[in-house]
Amino acid sequence: MGLYLLLTALVPSWRDPGWRHWKVYSGEDNSRSLFVQLGFEKANKPIKEGDFSAKTAVRIYFVLGSLLMLLGAAGIVWLAYLSPGE
């Protein structure tokens, strides 16, 4: 996930249409739920949505991507440190 976010921030051709769009839900987003897909339940509607500016979106993607990559690297180092050596 971190690599995807970094590539989205750094490589403009990697960006999908609507990559700057955001939504806020009051509860969980159940739009992909099986019950919603079958029509037994209604999907939650967002309480707020909009688009970030390109500059703000790039910064958010870059910071989150960097944090996730650092967290993953720290986890790998931690697991390597805990594993029994030869």
Q: What values do phi and psi take at 68, rounded to 5?
A: -65, -40
Q: Considering its fold, how many domains does the chain have in total?
A: 1
Contact 61, 8 (CB under 8 A): yes
- Rounded (to 5) percent helix, strand, coil in the chain: 55, 10, 35
Q: What is the pTM of this model?
A: 0.74
Residues of the domain holding 62: 2-82
Angstrom distance (rounded) from CA 57 to CA 12: 12
pLDDT for position 15: 93
Q: Residue 85 above 70 pLDDT?
A: no
Q: Which amino acid is at 61?
A: Y
Which tens digit of pLDDT belongs to each residue from 13-72?
989 999 999 988 887 777 778 888 888 888 888 899 999 999 999 999 999 999 999 999
Phi first, then psi: give them for residue 17, nearest 5 degrees: -60, 135
